[in-house]
Amino acid sequence: MDESNLTQILALMDSQFSQLSDTMAQLKHQVTELSHENNRLRMANAQLASVVSEASPPLSDLPQEQEDKHQEETSQAAPAKRQQAGRERLQTFYQEGIHICHTFYGMKREPGEECIFCQNLLDSFQRDNH
Ligand SMILES: [Zn+2]
């Protein structure tokens, strides 16, 4: 094998590495996008599940009269309860390392990354609770 052959092989390998590197970068980008979309879908799904479960509360075997009273109480407490449940869900997603803020909603936070927007939102939940 002479020197020009080696040079050709090295050039070929160099170009293949460069292609591989481009493919890797594209794959990484797609994984990030899919993860972002997955997070947003999970959050939307959790929200929808809570709306559906509120719209059709499990039927109990309470007598009719008590059931009516029960429904009345539920409908009065529902908005505040729903809001509370929604906040708890968002806090759970945040603890999992997902942005809950408007700006980066559904995107993954880097390990140890603090987001001032998410933090603001969490602080406002605390304020509303007191
Ligand atoms: Zn955020």
The radius of gyration of the chain's CA atoms, rounded to the nearest angstrom, is 26
Which residues lie below 8 Å from residue 101, measured CB to CB, with a gap of 6+? 115, 117, 118, 120, 121
Taking a 5 Å cut-off on Cβ, the residues next to ion ligand 1 are: 99, 101, 104, 115, 117-118
Predicted local confidence at residue 64, as pLDDT: 55
Instruction: Check: CB of residue 43 under 8 Å from CB of residue 96.
Output: no
Q: How far does the centroid of ligand 1 lie from the alpha carbon of residue 24, in Å?
A: 27
Q: Do the domain assignments include residue 69?
A: no
Q: How far does the centroid of ligand 1 lie from the alpha carbon of residue 111, in Å?
A: 13
**81-124: per-residue pLDDT in tens?**
777 888 889 999 999 999 999 999 999 999 889 999 999 999 99
Q: Do the domain assignments include residue 65?
A: no
Q: How many domains does the chain have?
A: 1
Which residues lie below 8 Å from residue 62, measured CB to CB, with a gap of 6+? 70
Q: Do the domain assignments include residue 60?
A: no
Q: Do the domain assignments include residue 116?
A: yes
Q: How far does the centroid of ligand 1 lie from the alpha carbon of residue 13, in Å?
A: 42
Q: Do the domain assignments include residue 82?
A: yes
Domain of residue 114 covers 3-55+78-128
